Amino acid sequence: MFVTLLGPLALSCLPLSVLGVPEDKDARMYKVNITLPLKEGRDENADVLEIKTTVAGLSDMKVLFSFMVPGNSMVILVLRVDKACSWPQLTSFLARKGYAVKVTPVYYCSDFARELGINMTRDFYDTSLENDEDLLLGKEIFPVKGLTTAQYNEKLRQMFVRDISILNAGQPSASFRTLANLPVELIYFAPVTPTAIEAMAKTLHAPDNFEFEILRIQKLDTYTGGCK
């Protein structure tokens, strides 16, 4: 599900058949990209701080993560929506401000790994990334490229086996899969450390063919505005 500038309000009261039943919280997790378009006289710092304040006041919407992309006029949120009609708190604000918005349903990579037969608990990935201000956002896309379902699933299992070794070595990371069929897209948030850079290099030099993107991000709750 993708929402552009004209579409945020369409999310305001989606039926539970789309957003998930109350017991199925994972069916209602979303990654939200908020882009502040260029505009003469815009005070980007003030706008980001207003988003930060608005997000902090949301009810029936749990903010799992909130990030700022420095120099890119973009805020990234990962939300769990506990009530379908709680969306207007955020979407009406964003529509009024005229921001470009993209919403993507996601769920935990640990749950996806278990679907593939990998023994991974929900807390294997870090779910907080506490006290980490300097972070990376990594996005992996696994093209099908003529593979059979069995071959594709095995490719993904091997990736999770590598992930387990990296996480067991002490590298924290939060990870989500976008809720789509194919190709599989995984999103990672991890602190910028020598271990993280080494882990990224290990992933990028893996024998599998996949697309990989990296962005530098910082926690929105540590953002205070101003020039550095």
Residues belonging to the chain: 228
Given CATH 3.30.70.920, say whether it is the number of domain 8-107.
yes
* pLDDT reading at 24 higher than 60: no
Q: Looking at domain 110-220, which of 3.40.190.10, 3.30.70.1150, 3.40.640.10, 3.40.50.1820 is its CATH number?
A: 3.30.70.1150
CB 52 within 8 A of CB 128: no
pTM, entire model = 0.80
Report how far residue 92's alpha carbon sits from residue 10's, in angstroms, rounded to the nearest whole number.
Answer: 10
CB 100 within 8 A of CB 37: yes
Helix (H), strand (E) at residue 171: none
**Residue indicated by tokens 């608005």:** 54
CB 207 within 8 A of CB 141: no
**Residue indicated by tokens 């500038």:** 5
Q: What are phi and psi of 146, to 5 degrees?
A: 80, 5
- Rounded to the nearest 10°, the torsion over CA 54, 104, 75, 108 is 90
- What mean pLDDT comes out for the span 176-184? 88
**Residue indicated by tokens 């505009």:** 39
pLDDT of residue 132: 66
CB 159 within 8 A of CB 206: yes
Instruction: Express each pLDDT in 32-87 by its tens digit.
Output: 999 988 777 778 888 999 999 999 899 889 999 999 988 788 999 999 998 878 88
Which one is predicted more confidently, 6 or 221? 221
Report how far residue 39's alpha carbon sits from residue 151's, in angstroms, rounded to the nearest whole number.
Answer: 48
Q: How many CA atoms lie within 13 A of 63 on its CB side?
A: 21
pLDDT confidence of 186, banded at 50, 70, 90? very high
* pLDDT reading at 26 higher than 60: no
The type of residue at 66 is: S
Angle among Cα 180, 176, 38 to the nearest 5 degrees reads 85
Considering the chain, what percentage of its residues have pLDDT values greater than 90?
30
Strands 100-108 and 184-191: unpaired
For the chain, the structural domain boundaries read 8-107, 110-220
Is there a cis peptide before residue 183, judged by omega within 30 degrees of 0?
yes
Q: What are phi and psi of 44, to 5 degrees?
A: -60, -40
Instruction: Express each pLDDT in 111-166 by its tens digit.
Output: 999 999 998 888 888 777 776 667 889 888 888 888 899 999 998 998 898 888 88
